[in-house]
Structure 1
């Protein structure tokens, strides 16, 4: 009987100790989850990060889209910056202003995504000839110099012809992102680029008398 009581007491002690351990684990688990949650918000490469800049997972196509579109957009903005002092047509000046207004914020957003993913943001001026194959429509140094030296109607014509080619390259890059990307916000931006730049291509073709 004594031995039986001893076993009962020992069993009760084990059960009590187990319950206490469970309570401690539950308390500790809450802290751990909280820490993981905070870490998830600023972890650049976390596929489950819920911060707006890194919402959802991303893949190599998303990285390629961001790294390609940043210098592509920068060049479009550089072209647009030439228009106020050189363009003759009010339509061309307005178009250039719209391009700059749309693409400057997109450059910032794309750069933010790359930073949040732990990727390197392309340096300013990263638009050498070796990149032209991957980013269709990029202007050569000679084309850029020609545009800088043009004015009036000649500038308007050169600007629109070069920008149509530039936009067509951006649309192709955006279509690739829509097809192969995984990052929801990047795919949405790609869709917006396709819509807006396709409309601008049509507008420029009309101004050039091609439609």
Structure 2
């Protein structure tokens, strides 16, 4: 059973607002406290941009929702490849389960963003961040099949799930909007369960 390590409070804003998104490039390996760069569409973390039916949204809430949407949208093309690229029913089942949970989370995230009054344009669109598959990696997946595809799928799925859990845990600590932090808690639970299933298929994680 994988233990979740929560991000220290002093890093919450850096995790959510930067998350490797500096000039569209991933953060260097081993980086722990990058300087927070607030995307143009995100209010400062101390601000309260809007009030929904369950209370105010903070900049941290909005930043996490925007990043969650961007990550879920980037994962979907990967999951769409699975039925045609693998003959293993276990991988097909896992991809279907992950896809269903991510579509549900994506719908909830979009509804919450609409409630918050945040701009519809996502500041992370087109950026390659930790946990996101790049265009080159997606091309490699499209060229693979069978066991080579399964290995690449495991690698990218693990990176995505681990990063999703990490930033959701940060939102749990630093967010203020009840429905948004509740969604973050669900993402942590679901992500850890999916990581456990992935480990069962792929063996011990190389992390």
- TM-score, length-scaled by structure 1: 0.69
Name the CA distance, whole Å, in 1 between partners of 2:203 and 2:110: 37
Checking the alignment, whether the CA contact within 8 Å between 2:75 and 2:133 is kept in structure 1 is: no
Moved over 4 A (4+): none
Partner of 2:163: 169
Shift of 1:145: 1.1
Distance 1:112 1:74 in 2: 15
Cα deviations by residue, 1:20-60 (Å, 9 ceiling, x for unpaired): xxxxxxxxxxxxxxxxxxxxxxxxx653x42xxxx212101
CA RMSD between the two structures: 2.0
SS at match of 1:176: helix
Residue 102 (structure 1) aligns with:
101
Structure 2 residue aligned with 1:72: 71
* 2:92 corresponding residue in structure 1: 93
- Partners of 2:104 and 2:197 lie apart in 1 by 22
Q: What's the counterpart of residue 187 of structure 1?
A: 181
Give 1:151 deviation, angstroms: 0.8
Which structure dedicates a bigger proportion of its chain to helix?
1
| Alpha-carbon distance in 1 for matches of 2:112, 2:119 | 10
1:41 counterpart residue number: none
CA distance 1:122–1:80, change in 2 (3 Å): farther
Whole-Å separation in 1 of the counterparts to 2:107 and 2:67: 14
Q: How far apart, CA to CA, are the structure 1 residues paired with 2:179 and 2:166?
A: 18
Cα shift at 1:209 = 2.1
CA distance in 1 between partners of 2:147 and 2:61 (Å)? 39
Aligned to 2:197: 203
- C-alpha displacement of 1:88: 2.1
Unaligned runs of 5+ in 1: 1-44
Shift of residue 122, structure 1, vs aligned partner:
4.0
1:57 aligned counterpart, secondary structure: strand
Residue pair 1:171, 1:198 contacting (<8 A) in 2 also: yes
Higher relative contact order (CA 8 A, sep 6+): 2
Determine the C-alpha separation between the residues in 1 that align with 2:50 and 2:73. 28
Computing the radius of gyration from Cα coordinates, the structure with the larger value is: 1
TM-score, scaled relative to structure 2: 0.70
